[in-house]
Each structure stands twice: as C-alpha cells, then as structure tokens.
Amino acid sequence: MLIRRPDDVLPSEITPREVYFNRRQWMAGAAGLALTASLPKGLEAAPLSGAKSPFSTDEKKTSREDVTSYNNYYEFGTGKEDPAAKAGSLKTAPWTVKVDGMVGKPAEFAIEDLIKSPALEERIYRMRCVEGWSMVIPWVGFPLADLIKRVEPLGSAKYIAFETAFRPDEMPGLDSIFPVLEWPYVEGLRLDEAMNPLTLLAVGLYGETLPNQNGAPIRLVVPWKYGFKGIKSITRISFVDKQPPTSWNKQAPSEYGFYANVNPNVDHPRWSQATERRIGEGGLFAKRRPTLMFNGYAEQVASLYTGMDLRKLY
C-alpha cells in the first residue's frame, strides 16, 4: 500500500530539499529500482506552475491519487496499476526531443529548456479514454503551436508524427512474448489539429513535473480526442506530408481510427461511446455521464472537421 498524502501538498513541502536530493542520489545506485516502487508517488517531482488558462474547465478535478495510479502506458504493462508500479525505471534525464522532417529549422530540444517555456500554463482538461472512463486533470504545459512556430514548418508539411522512447532495458512491457502493440508507440495529428490552441505539450500535472506513469518528461494532450492520442514520453516529432501511422490504428484499424475524435454518436464496434464513468465517482453505483461531442470542446474544434463524414473518418 502506498503512503497517501493530501492532494494539495507538494512533495517538496513534505521532504526537506537535502533529504530529497540525497535520496535521489542513493536511488541511482543498485538498489534504485526496488526502492522506487515503494516510495510515495511524486517524491522525485519538482514544483512547476503556469498561468491560469481560460481554456480550463471548472469541473471537479480527479484526485491526484487517481490521476497517478490509474493509467494506460503499455510499455510498462497492460494493467491500470502497472505504470505507477513500474514506470520508475524510465530515466527521464537527460532527455531531448528531436524535431525533424519538413521544417526550415530542425532542432533538438533539451527538456530543461522546454520546461522553462514562458508559455507554460495550467490547463484543467476533461480527458476521455476510448475504454469508457474519464478524468479531469490539471495539466501544466505549453501549446504545441509554440514549438511548431519555432521550427518553421515548410508548406509541404501536412501532418506531424510523434514517437515515444523505445528503451527495452527501462520498459518491461517491451519484451512481452505477445506484444499488444508494435513499438515504439507512435501517434499523429493533422497540422491544423496540432496548431489548435487547445493542443498541449504537457510537462507537469497538479503543480509538479510529470510523474513517469503519466508520460514524463513530456507528452501530448489533445482534450477533444480519445486518450490514446495523448502519446507519452516523446523523443521525436516529425513533420511529414502524408498521414502517419498510429499505434492503435495499426493494431486494430476497424476499432481505432486516425482521428479518434470523442464522439458519442459513433460506437466502438464492441461497445457504445454514448456515456462514460468519471474516475473517483462512487464505484459501482455511480451514474454514468453522457459523453459530449468532441468531449465538450466542440465550440473550439468542430470547424476543423466541417464537410468530413465522422462515421467514416472515426
């Protein structure tokens, strides 16, 4: 059982700085892995804040405990508890994000520099997983559009492809005998979706740098799409002229499309998408909530899809 702490207390307030750093150094040693698993989550996190965003929802936030202990991150196993238990083995420093392809200024960004972005904001977003559950998460991040402008995309660039780190030594899920997905995990967006002001590169949540299970040190957040579009622990972003392959679409094309816009009117072939269970809301007897078109962000994004048949392009 993990030690719990109130949602609003930062680990830096509980642990004196010296103790915190000594412990980190010690963890880097041979006993590191076993120790990481028994520590309270977030102990290694550093405080990180951003300006309040007008794009935030005022719905009740999902507790930090739920946000950081009920996760999908198949590189660490397929169980919801696997990422919190196992993702501590991913080394998130040093870390760089390579940006290449059809851009005028290809670049390799060090994570420290990205985290210092003056565009950092706190964005409280509704998140909807294709499996039928949802959360409300206070992310800290900056608009993907900011990074896009810095690398000056060429006119030929129409899509952006994203790639997660591929580290068999640090990701126990990668050597499964029956891999669920082809690795590395890849995702993609159309350039106009990527430029939309709602699209975020998140580097933190709940006022701290991202926990590993949530995609440290940097992950994508696209609040009007199903959760699987939110690729974690990104190492590469490539500008391309054709729709890039995406992991879940390759795995089961009839179940998971490239667009993956949240849509209560288009069922998954094996279940309805009309309603959702909000994580943390009273167990078995909690009423399911109706799922909203574009997850409630229609006003900001519906115009991206005018004229498209969203039944075919799911």
Ligand X SMILES: Nc1nc2c(c(=O)[nH]1)N[C@H]1C(S)=C(S)[C@@H](COP(=O)(O)O)O[C@H]1N2
Interaction partner, residue 225 (ligand X, Mo ion, none; CB < 5-8 Å by kind) = none
Could you give the residue ranges of the DSSP H alpha helices within the chain?
Answer: 11-14, 17-27, 32-38, 64-69, 82-86, 111-115, 144-151, 191-195, 247-251, 298-301
When the beta carbons of 2 and 20 are compared against ligand X, the nearer one is 2
Q: Between residues 185 and 239, which has the closer beta carbon with respect to ligand X?
A: 185
Q: Which does 236 bind (CB under 5 to 8 A by kind): ligand X, Mo ion, none?
A: none
> Of 102 and 186, which has the nearer Cβ to ligand X?
186
Output the residue with the shortest Cβ distance to ligand X. Answer: 227
Residue 36 or 199: the one with the smaller Cβ distance to Mo ion is 199
201-239: b or e for each residue (b if 16 or more CB lie within 10 Å)? Answer: bbbbbbbbbbbbbbbbbbbbbbbbbbbbbbbbbbbbbbb
Nearest to 71 by CA among 144, 127, 24: 127
Tokens of 188: 């993609």
Cβ of residue 228: shortest distance to Mo ion, in angstroms?
Answer: 5
Where does this chain bind ligand X (CB under 6 A)?
Answer: 71-75, 129, 164, 185, 214-215, 227-228, 230-232
214 binds, among ligand X, Mo ion, none (CB under 5 to 8 A by kind): ligand X
The listed partner (Mo ion, ligand X, none) that binds 221, CB under 5 to 8 Å by sort, is none
Q: Is the dihedral of CA 58, 118, 166, 76 positive or negative?
A: negative
Annotated binding site for Mo-molybdopterin: 71, 74-75, 129, 164, 214, 219, 230-232
